Structure 1
Amino acid sequence: MLVALNLGQASAQSNASIVAGEITQPLTATPGDPLRGRGIVTSRQTGLCILCHSGPFPEERFQGNLAPELSASVARYTAPQLRARIVNSSYFHPNTIMPTYFSVDHLNRVAPKFMGQTILNGQEIEDVVAFLLTLNSSKP
């Protein structure tokens, strides 16, 4: 059974075009919430970020070492650049192991029950971006 995208998500996906390595417009009208974003980043069921990345999460055991430490990534990227990398990291590195969090196109080996669904919705991506920016408050 295929699961259809809801209209809000489909509309947001159409606004998630990467141009010059950035997605300049937020994916939602509601600003990202850094506390919710931190929860997504540290969740082993939602964002899964700490399976590969490590970060300033002393309470989290067994953080990943397959990808850059999150504070190092934030130091190099602006909010639009981070948004683009979370939406579709394969745009930048076609062989990356990082999932495309906000795409349903050109994916491989997707279980039927997850077909047509993004890993994160637009608001969750905005929350993650807001949290990552708190790791380096000098970036916009």
Structure 2
Amino acid sequence: MLLMIAMVPVALSDWYLRRISNSLNLVILLAALCVFFSEHSLSYQTWLINAALALCITLPGYLRGAMGGGDVKLLLALSPAWNPVHFMLVFAVGIGTLLTILAAAQAISSCRRPVTGRLLTAAPLQRGLPVGTAIFVGMILTAMISAAGLIV
């Protein structure tokens, strides 16, 4: 829960500004470390595996200019928080959901109907995918799925 609360300003900052500051990433790292030290099922090996996964996911995008340095640091900061399967699930669910929402918004706006509200425009894709927002969405959805007993 602490990690989810800490992710709110990251998600908003990434959505509106496409920037995740180092101070926000530091807060996320501290919250993830709180989770790491409170969970007895997590080990330093899982942390290292997640850090390697985070670099494998983000470095190619960063080197191509498709991802910012804040996105790389965010996934590295989150690496101590979960086991590798949950880490990848949060990422995949978040990216998939956000892409679906943005594609639907783009389809709606292409129908020449006025779209009300600032959140449902296709403009976010023109500036790149807000990975911080996607991670936050993935955290919420995986927590809901887990609470429903569909995943462990």
Larger helix proportion, structure 1 or 2? 2
Structure with bigger gyration radius: 2
Q: Normalization by structure 2: what TM-score?
A: 0.27
